[in-house]
C-alpha cells in the first residue's frame, strides 16, 4: 500500500526463544481486578469488569536480564506503578464463551500499567475519560512474551513489585476477581478481539508513586522479571 506520509512502525514485543516478534494490535486493560486493590481504590465486591485502552505504541519492551529506562511523563507529579499479568492473543472473535476463551491465548508476559494518578483523580471528579492518565507514551512496559504451554495456565502464582529493593506490591494470580478466561469472554462481548491484542489483567494492592531515578523490579512466578528505571 502506498501512503501519503511515512507509515508508522508496527509496535511489537519480543518472544522468548524466538527471533520473530509479536505484533501489537490493541492494548486492553482491566480495572480493579483484585479485591484488595479495589478496596484500596475505594470499591468493594465483585462488580462487573470494566475496561480502558492504551494505544498499541504505548508498549515499552523490556529485554530479559536488562533494565530499561522510561522517561518521566510530563504534566504529572504522581506517577504510579501497577504490576500486571499480560495475556497476548493469537486468535480473536466475538461473544467468546468462557470455556473456550483460553484457546485464543498466544502467550503471557509481565506488564506495568503506569498511571498519572493525579490526572486520573482529576478526570474522575469531572466524569471525564482516563486517556491522559493511562494512555501516554511508554505507559505499558512489558517483558518478552512466554508462549503458552498446556502445563502452565498462570491461574495462580506470586505477583510482586519492588521499588529500589523495597516490596510494594504482593499478591497471587489466583486472587483475580475475574479470571483470564472470564476477562477475554467479557471483552469479546464489547469488541471483536483480534490476533495481536494484549490484555493487562489488573493489579494487586500496594500501588504507589515512583520518582525520577527509581528502579522497579516486577516478578510473576513462571515468567521471570521485568526491570525498569525511571529516567533522571
The predicted structure's pLDDT at residue 153 = 85
Residue 103 is predicted with a pLDDT of: 96
CATH architecture designation of domain 12-230: Alpha-Beta Complex (3.90)
- Joined together, the cell numbers standing for residue 82 give 501497577
- pLDDT score for 46: 66
Which pLDDT does position 47 carry in this prediction? 77
Q: Could you state, in chain order, the average pLDDT of each consecutive group of 10 residues for the chain (232 residues)?
A: 94 98 98 74 71 98 97 98 98 97 97 98 95 98 96 92 98 94 97 98 96 98 97 92
Residues 35, 32: Cα–Cα separation, whole Å? 7
What's the pTM value of the predicted model, to 2 decimals?
Answer: 0.95
Strand order, beta sheet including 166-172: 67-70, 224-230, 215-220, 158-163, 166-172
For the chain, the domains span 12-230
Q: Which of 84, 87, 67 is nearest to 33 (CA)?
A: 84
Amino acid at each position: 500500500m502506498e501512503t501519503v506520509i511515512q507509515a508508522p512502525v508496527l509496535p511489537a514485543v519480543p518472544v522468548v526463544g524466538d527471533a520473530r516478534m509479536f505484533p501489537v494490535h490493541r492494548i486492553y486493560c482491566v480495572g480493579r481486578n483484585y479485591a484488595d486493590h479495589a478496596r484500596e481504590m475505594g470499591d468493594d465486591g465483585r462488580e462487573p469488569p470494566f475496561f480502558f485502552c492504551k494505544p498499541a505504541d504505548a508498549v515499552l519492551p523490556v529485554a530479559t536480564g536488562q533494565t530499561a529506562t522510561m522517561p518521566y511523563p510530563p504534566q504529572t507529579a504522581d506517577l504510579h506503578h501497577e504490576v500486571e499479568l499480560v495475556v497476548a492473543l493469537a486468535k480473536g472473535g466475538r461473544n467468546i464463551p468462557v470455556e473456550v476463551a483460553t484457546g485464543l491465548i498466544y502467550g503471557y508476559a509481565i506488564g506495568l500499567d503506569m498511571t498519572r494518578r493525579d490526572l486520573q483523580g482529576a478526570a474522575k471528579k469531572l466524569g471525564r475519560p482516563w486517556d491522559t492518565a493511562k494512555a501516554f507514551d511508554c505507559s505499558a512496559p512489558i517483558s518478552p512474551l512466554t508462549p503458552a504451554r498446556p502445563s502452565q495456565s498462570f491461574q495462580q502464582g506470586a505477583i510482586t513489585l519492588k521499588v529500589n529493593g523495597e516490596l510494594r506490591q504482593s499478591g497471587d494470580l489466583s486472587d483475580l476477581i475475574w479470571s483470564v478466561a472470564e476477562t477475554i469472554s467479557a471483552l469479546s462481548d464489547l469488541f471483536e478481539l483480534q490476533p495481536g491484542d494484549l490484555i493487562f489483567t489488573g493489579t494487586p494492592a500496594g500501588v504507589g508513586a515512583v520518582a525520577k531515578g527509581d528502579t522497579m523490579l516486577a516478578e510473576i512466578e513462571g515468567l521471570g522479571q521485568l526491570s525498569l528505571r525511571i529516567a533522571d
